[in-house]
Amino acid sequence: MSVVTDQVSRLDAEIDRISATPFLLAEAGGQQAEGEDATEHIRENEYRVASEELSSPRAKKLLRIFRSLSTSTSSSSQPLLPAWQVKDLLLQTDLVGFSEVSSGYAAKASHGHYESELEWLVLGKATVQTYGLILNTFLDQIVPLSEDMWYWDQVLSSYTYSGLYTVQLSPLRVWAWTKDIYRDSRLRFRQFQASSNQTEHIRESLSERWQQFYSIVRGSIHERSLINVRNKVFSPVALSRRQARSNLKQLRKLRAMTASGMGLLLDEGLSFGVGDDDSNKSDFAADSADHEWKGVVERSVALMDMVLRDVSTLSHSISDFEEKVFAGVEDDPELSAQADPADRTSMLARRLVDLLEVQLPSHVAVNQKLVRQYGRPSRLVRYWLPGLALFLSSSTILRVLVNRKADIINWMQDLGNTAKDFWFNWVIEPVRKIIGTIRHDENSEIAIMSRDSLKADRDSLERMVVEFAKDKPDLAVGASSLTETQLEDIRLKVKEGDVTPVLKAYERDLRNPFVGAIRGDLVRALLIQVQKTKVDLEVAMSGIDSLLKSQELVFGMIGLTPGVLVTITTFSYLKSVSGGRKGMRRSQRGARSIRVLRSIDRILSEAVPTQNNLLSYKDHGLLVCEVHVLRNLVHGLLPGEVERDFLEDLEDLVSLKAISIQQRALDRIRWTYSRWLNH
């Protein structure tokens, strides 16, 4: 949806409101019983006449065309029909050729009042569709002009861009200069041949003819150089900047003229009084009101005709263009001819067909010609230099590719293998380990020592201490032998880290270390203490091992994080590259929306208000274009309910109200929706 489609939908609804007349009630006469409901707005005899007239084949055909031209029957997002379809529907009404044959008058005379009213409603619908098509055409022409104007602004912004533009344009200038020399030389040569004697011309040798031709060409070049002596004062870059400045001026004039034409149609076209409260009016309040809307349709068609004829004439000023349009509508021969009321529909239908078939395509062709003349150069002109460089270096590039074919293949294979190994080793494998940890898979547990290492060393220490106590019971319990109870007590103490019997022997042998070493108790005590130290170390390692196992999931997530981050970054980059310019990112669209709001503020601030404190036609047209761009940019940035509020505020901004009201609407948009636009 756009501003134009909203306007067309409102006007179409106004035509539907006007069509709430007896002949449409009569269409449903077969389903309604005559009585109080049927006679609330219409007398019973009129209801019967309307039912009879609307039961004819032509009336049914007109009703079908009426529905086909309605926006409610078309797509909600595209209520406008194409021009060819509107023209075909108009031709199907058989109104275009009524006044071209004498039998047309008799055919028209046979039509009843309600059928004639139906013809007017069909033409009203067709006028609304044509009105929307013209506004859409103007809108599609104004918006792209900003890019061309930006191009010339960039060329004029620095001498670097101006020099680049000069290089881009040099082949065209050389070609134009060559054609001028060729035409002038050809004309001079023909004049020389006509003035010379035929006999002398036959006697001349080929070399003399070439000398004559060469002298003619040299004279043409010299004369052309004298003609262009003024241009020699300026450098090629200065000439290019002057041309760019002239093109920019013409584009601004074209944009202003098109915006003025659009504003004329928006403000003056099809002014049915949309939004007026007619709830207290009867459908048959006055015949004058019924005829008034028909006059609005006729004047609007004349207005569209005059606007299309002169909107692309850049020699006119905007004020002259507007005055000429109004004067043309006032002096329109078809409006002032006081034609037969029965023939007005035929004249209007022919004029609508002419607008769709001749005037609108002609305007589009003229506008495209002006854009090609004053717009930015074609892609061939802008990119011939890099294209030529690429063409000249293509053989070298191809030779390098062929010579390094094997290396390139190896690089590609290495790149593929690296990506594959990274995926499996840094993404898949950590994920598998995390899943195993969650499922308490024994193979996935983190460990820094063997599972049964501590148990084996502790049992070995227990046996060593018990055997030592059996051999030295006096050191263990101070007796000559040990009972089972005493042995069990020693085992329990060893499990708790108590090796007192060994330490006592160790202390005793330290008094006489050489004797103890020879006897063997000191060495044995030392070895048992070494085993005890080993067990203590393994107990400490077991605590660390338990801590690692308790944080195994955390370590797994940390190990997975680098691979996931690299993968997400890579896929995001590839997505942005592959997406290209299919859609701007939200931040870019928000930034552009802010710039459009700035343009709207400039339009409202610099506008010269009319006597009624309203925007001029040109400023209103420019405002509608900027609002159209803003509406397309913001679509999707705002939540559903907020976007509906935004559209209401845009409606206040673009509606034909006082400039102060529009300025307040702009301020409201700025502070209300800045949260989403600046995001």
3-state SS record for 117-133: HHHHHHHHHHHHHHHHH
Give residue 579's pLDDT.
57
The confidence band for 274, taking pLDDT boundaries of 50, 70 and 90, is very low
Cα–Cα dist 269/485, whole Å? 117
Which of 402-406, 454-458, 490-494 has the largest mean confidence?
A: 402-406
Query: In the predicted model, is pLDDT for residue 28 greater than 90?
Result: no
Percent of the chain at pLDDT above 70? 74
Average pLDDT over residues 260-267: 94
287 against 90, higher pLDDT: 90
Same domain, 527 and 598: no
Tokens of 478: 């101070």
> For every residue of 618-651, which 3-state class applies, written as one string?
HHHHHHHHHHHHHHHHHCCCCCHHHHHHHHHHHH
Q: How far is CA 454 from CA 468, 495, 540, in A?
A: 21, 12, 10
- The count of structural domains within the chain is 4
Same domain, 37 and 68: yes
HSE of 581 in the Cβ direction (CA atoms, 13 Å)?
Answer: 0
Backbone angles phi, psi at 97, to 5 degrees: -105, 15
Asked if residue 324 lies in contact with residue 306, where contact means CB atoms within 8 angstroms, the answer is yes
On average, the pLDDT of the chain sits at 79
State yes or no: pLDDT of 282 exceeds 50.
no
Q: Which range of residues forms the domain containing residue 569?
A: 403-444+555-579
Task: Report which of 278, 279, 259 is spatially closest to residue 267, judged by C-alpha positions.
Answer: 259
Q: Which residue's entry shows tokens 């060469």?
A: 214
Residue 651 has pLDDT above 50, yes or no: yes
User: Is residue 197, in this structure, part of any structural domain at all?
Assistant: no
pLDDT of residue 597: 92
Q: Which two tokens stand for residue 525?
A: 């005590």
Residue scoring higher pLDDT (564 or 235): 564
Across the range 302-323, mean pLDDT stands at 92
Q: What angle do CA 127, 129, 133 make, to 5 degrees?
A: 115
Half-sphere exposure for 297 (CA within 13 Å, toward CB)? 30
Rg over CA atoms, the chain = 47
Binned at pLDDT 50, 70 and 90, residue 107 comes out as: very low
Same-domain check for residues 545 and 559: no
160 is a domain residue: no
For residue 173, give both structure tokens. 């200038």
Return d(Cα 8, Cα 133) in angstroms, integer: 9
The number of angstroms, rounded, from the C-alpha of 598 to the middle of its chain's C-alpha atoms is 20
Question: Looking at the predicted structure, is the pLDDT value of residue 129 above 50?
Answer: yes
Question: How many of the other CB atoms lie within 10 Å of CB of 3?
Answer: 20
Q: Is the pLDDT of residue 13 over 80?
A: yes
Residue 158 domain-assigned (yes or no):
no
Q: What is the pLDDT of residues 522-571, one digit of tens each?
A: 777 788 888 888 888 888 887 777 777 777 777 778 888 888 888 888 88
Least confident range of 94-108, 115-129, 268-282, 335-349: 94-108
The answer to whether residues 135 and 280 belong to one domain is: yes
Q: Under DSSP, is residue 100 helix (H, G, I), strand (E, B) or coil?
A: helix
pLDDT band at 470 (very low <50, low <70, confident <90, very high): confident
Q: How far apart are CA 200 and CA 655, in angstroms?
A: 81
Q: Domain check: are 283 and 360 in the same one? A: yes
pLDDT value for 189: 65
Decide if 607 is inside a domain: yes
| pLDDT for 443 | 58
103-107, 140-144, 522-526, 552-556: least confident range: 103-107
The pLDDT of residue 211 is 65
Q: Does any domain span residue 229?
A: no
Among 657, 678, 653, CA closest to 667:
653
Q: What angle do CA 539, 540, 541 make, to 5 degrees?
A: 90
CA 76 to chain centre: 20
Distance CA 408, CA 402 (A): 9
- Residue 183 or residue 341, greater confidence: 183
Check whether residue 487 and residue 407 sit in a common domain.
Answer: no
What is the DSSP annotation of 22-43? HHHHHHTTTTS-SSTTTTSSS-
**pLDDT tier at 34 (50, 70, 90 boundaries)?**
very low
Is the predicted pLDDT of residue 208 greater than 80, yes or no? no
Strand locations in 465-563 (E): none
Q: What is the pLDDT of residue 294?
A: 87
More confident of the two residues 259 and 285: 259
In sign, the C-alpha dihedral spanning 7, 8, 13, 17 is positive
Same domain, 562 and 637: no
The predicted-structure confidence for 44-101, as pLDDT tens digits, reads as follows: 555 555 566 667 788 888 888 988 888 766 544 567 899 999 999 999 988 886 544 4
pLDDT at position 620 is 93
66 and 135 both lie in a single domain: yes
Structural domain includes residue 397: no
How crowded is residue 177: how many other Cβ atoms within 10 Å of its Cβ?
13
User: Does residue 437 share a domain with residue 410?
Assistant: yes
Spatial distance between the Cα atoms of 546 and 451, rounded to a whole number of angstroms = 11
pLDDT in the model for residue 619: 93
In a domain, 467, yes or no: yes
Q: Give the pLDDT mean for 32-48.
A: 50
pTM, rounded to two decimals: 0.70
Both structure tokens of 356: 């769709």
pLDDT of residue 361: 95
Q: For residue 243, give the amino acid letter.
A: Q
Contact between residue 465 and residue 528 where contact means Cβ atoms under 8 Å apart? yes
Asked whether residue 144 falls in the same domain as residue 265, the answer is: yes
E strand or H helix at 206: helix 206-227
Percent of the chain whose pLDDT exceeds 90: 25
With a CB cutoff of 8 Å and minimum separation 6, the contacts of 445 are 437, 549, 552
Looking at residue 363, what is its pLDDT?
95
pLDDT of residue 230: 53
Q: Are 257 and 367 in contact (CB under 8 A)?
A: no
Regarding whether 591 and 514 lie in a shared domain, the answer is: no
pLDDT at 87: 93
- pLDDT surpassing 90 at residue 132: yes
Enter the tokens of residue 536: 């203590």
Task: Fill in the amino acid letter for 352.
Answer: L
Instruction: Please give the Cα distance from 590 to 503 (Å, whole number).
Output: 82
pLDDT higher at 448 or 33: 448
For 417, residues 6+ apart whose C-beta sits below 8 A from its C-beta are none
The answer to whether 155 touches 162, Cβ cutoff 8 Å, is yes
Q: Amino acid letter at 131?
A: Y
For residues 358 and 414, state if they share a domain. Answer: no
Query: Would you say residue 176 lies in a domain?
Result: no
Look up residue 153 and give its two tokens. Answer: 């602004």
* Res 345: pLDDT: 87
